[in-house]
Amino acid sequence: MGFSACNIAKHASNNGAFLYENQLSVHEKKQSRFYSGDLESQIKQQPNKKILGVYRLSMRLFLLGSGEKDNRIKRFMRYNLGDPPVILDSSFIYASIKGMKAYLKTQGFYQSEIKFEVTGKNHRKKVHYTVFLGMPYTIYSSQIHVADQKLDSILRSYSDETLIREGNQLKLENLLNEQTRITDLMRNQGYFDFNKEAIEFDIDTAFAPNFKAFVAPNIRNPENFGRYHPYKVNSVQIQIDNARFLSDSSEKWVEQKTPTYSLKTRGFLLKPNVLEPIILLEPDRLFSQRRSNRTFQRLNDLQVFRTVNITASPVNQGTDSALLNYTIKLTPAKKFDFSIEPQLITSDQANLVTGSSFRNYGLATMLSSNINNIFHGAEVLQLRYRISVEAQRGPSIPTTPFFNSFESSLSANLVFPRLMGLSRLDRYFDRSVNKTILVASAIYEQNVSWIRNVFTVGLNYQVSKARVTYNFAPLEVSFIKTDFANSSLEQQSKNDPYLQNIFANNLITDSRFGLLYTSQTNRKNQNYYVVRWDAIELAGIIPYLVYKASGVSKNDSGYYGLLNVRFFNYIKSYVDVRYNHILDVNNRLAFRFAGGLALPFWNSPDFVPFDKRFFNGGANSIRAFLPRSLGPGAYNVEGQLDRSGDFKLEANAEYRFNIFNKYLEGALFVDAGNIWRIKDDGRKEATFYPNTFLKQLALGTGAGVRLNFDFLVFRVDWSLPVLDPRKVESERYVIPEYADPKVLWDKSIFNFGVGYPF
């Protein structure tokens, strides 16, 4: 370390002082929280990045590779692992101040003052910027001037939507947004050749009170004393050319006409009515930029066209009878899309024989195929087949054969580009991507504990907008048949209600509604939220009410059966909220809160189906505990098999930082949570109570490394329990135990995963 420090000082004396830190303080405290982050982005020279906010590893590697005797290793350290020290340049300081002042003017601060001070040792300099905002200018009054009477009438009818309001701060962003608003308004009212350049703003501060301004948006007419004319749609012609896949290039075009458009195709069969709800451009209607954009987006969202091109050709331009002829050219995607994806897999799986949990490793192959436009209605048939083998390990499990767990699954999704049976609703949601998905799947799983077959069919409606996707599944039916693969487990189940529930044949008929929201945009270094809310899942209501109303008697076990199989009644809700906070280009914080509740009733008053319960632990949950090794609550007895719950709470926090370039990342994290039973089943501390649950939370912490290839993230996390609710209350804080290295190693949990945990 001494050599490194000397090397830093020597390099600085030869090249100039290093920039070690930028500091920014905004004098007006009330305003500082709004502008500090944006002002920091105007600083033109940034210091070398730090790991954990402390150590500049990349800079030190560069210096270590800059010795007198050069060789391959040193060149690799300089150019592949290291970053050269940032030499303080005063020209960047003045450029930063200029940039900050320019930014503050866009926010209405025309009389701001910025000072700077350079402090620190000879070779380690710190630049401190102090910003005095002053008083911001606000809008005293606004009056729009429009040369064209028709445009003036339209603007006044939408005047309540203006962004230029008395008392608002004079911000450039608001002026630009107002310019966009007016342009969009006019283009959606038929004015095809109206553009932003026609809008100017006069700002006068000379005759207004102190720190106030008159703002006057002006809309001028076209040159040569012209005026604007609304355009109507004259014709819409659609061309679908599949020539690149045709063996005979002389194949003729086929033309079909509808009341809205004409369709010409070559080598591609498509029912004309498929495009009717998608093409929002109709003859004799005024031009609308919004309808044109939505038509383009909806054609892209069909996923059966490789390219979409829409052009509008003016006719009778500059007259009262101005028209537009639309030409839409579509190039189909490939009919068949096939892929093979080999996989190395790792999974969390509980061993029901021993009650222990281990991580399994194995091999898998995914075969995927998409068939586009399968029924000539822009439908997409998605086929997926996956086969996997895993090595399940644990005490008393034979090691021969090596792969003792097998799974095979086949799924088929038929995607329709509209809301089937809901045509009016489909037309109403013209600003969204609407889909109907028919789902069917079959899963066969065999491991050391059980042999399980799952068959599922369902119907799902999906409505997607810019940031939110809604899912509504009016009906999904699952039949689950599970058999014992272990005689000891079969014998044990005779006196265990939990195992009896798992191995009973289950029939689930449910309906679901949920949404997925994200505030993430294309802007880099922007904080964002992701919310997944499975708002409600309701099962078995209709068959139960039908049986009840028809007077059907329950069977000898006290429940109704559908096809001689017990069906479940339950209600379930789950929410997962994630927040990513960007500290800088190399450091960020990630948080997650998740909670869920599942309540059984009527035909299954005691248990929610095994597949619908909540579990904790594992690579994407509380990482300091093995999968399905926690709960319910603080209940823990020898030989316990049931680690499921009806209620779940979980919170996670993770600090992520860059180590080398953008590919190697590090992480520090804390996880907390648990699961509980809602109904008291006699097990001590297994039930959720508001006055006791905090004492039953599990807490773990650890560190991890990740290889980030943008499209794929590999991670390894090491973690340790801090609070273990499986112990008696006085011994749940387990940190003192780690003074013994053997205990520290035994309690260490290593998790391997693909993608971020949240």
Encode pLDDT of 345-386 as tens digits.
Answer: 766 555 554 544 555 678 999 999 999 999 999 999 999 999
pLDDT-based confidence at 1, cuts 50/70/90? Answer: very low
Which of 727 and 77 is assigned the larger pLDDT?
A: 727
Q: Class of the 2-47+86-132 domain? A: alpha beta
The pLDDT score that the predictor gives to residue 115 is: 96
Residue 681 DSSP SS3: coil
**Mean pLDDT score of the chain:** 89
The pLDDT score that the predictor gives to residue 663 is: 84
Residue 315 to residue 303: CA distance in whole angstroms: 32
Query: Among the residues of 661-747, which ranges form H helices?
Result: 741-747
Which of 245 and 70 is assigned the larger pLDDT?
A: 70
Q: Which of 138, 143, 144, 145 is nearest to 213 (CA)?
A: 138
Residue 358 to residue 349: CA distance in whole angstroms: 6
pLDDT-based confidence at 151, cuts 50/70/90? Answer: very high
Query: Among the residues of 113-171, which ranges form H helices?
Result: 149-157
Residue 304 tokens, joined: 């059966």
Region 232-332: CATH code: 3.10.20.310
Burial of 420 (0-12, 13-18, 19+ CB in 10 A): middle
The pLDDT score that the predictor gives to residue 591 is: 98
Arch. (CATH architecture) of 138-219? Roll (3.10)
Average pLDDT over residues 642-667: 91
Average pLDDT over residues 472-488: 91
The pLDDT score that the predictor gives to residue 2 is: 41
Overall residue count recorded for the chain in this entry: 758
Cut 0.85: pTM above it: no
Which of 79 and 507 is assigned the larger pLDDT?
A: 507
Q: Which of 658, 664, 755 is nearest to 711 (CA)?
A: 755
Q: Where are the domains of the chain?
A: 2-47+86-132, 138-219, 232-332, 334-504
Q: Does position 226 have pLDDT exceeding 60, yes or no?
A: yes
Residue 704 to residue 668: CA distance in whole angstroms: 7
Report yes or no: 287 and 317 within 8 Å, Cβ to Cβ.
Answer: no
Report the chain's terminal Cα–Cα distance, integer Å: 37
Report yes or no: 480 and 384 within 8 Å, Cβ to Cβ.
Answer: no
Q: Does position 280 have pLDDT exceeding 80, yes or no?
A: yes
Q: Does position 3 have pLDDT exceeding 50, yes or no?
A: no
Q: Burial letters for 651-684: b for 16+ Cβ neighbours within 10 Å, e otherwise?
A: bbbbbbbbbbeeeebbbebbbbbbbbbbeeeebe
Residue 157 tokens, joined: 């009818």
Phi, psi values for residue 301, rounded to 5°: -70, -15
Average pLDDT over residues 499-506: 81
Q: Rg of the chain's alpha carbons, rounded to an integer?
A: 33
Burial of 411 (0-12, 13-18, 19+ CB in 10 A): middle
Average pLDDT over residues 680-699: 95
Average pLDDT over residues 592-597: 98
Task: Region of 267 please: left (phi>0), alpha (psi -120 to 50) or beta.
Answer: left
Q: HSE, CB side, 13 Å, CA atoms: give it for residue 304.
A: 25
Q: Does position 489 have pLDDT exceeding 90, yes or no?
A: no
Query: Among the residues of 188-346, which ranges form H helices?
Result: 272-275, 289-301
Residue 129 to residue 624: CA distance in whole angstroms: 43
Sequence-ordered list of residues with C-beta below 8 angstroms from that of 104, at least 6 positions apart, any chain: 35, 39, 112, 131, 133
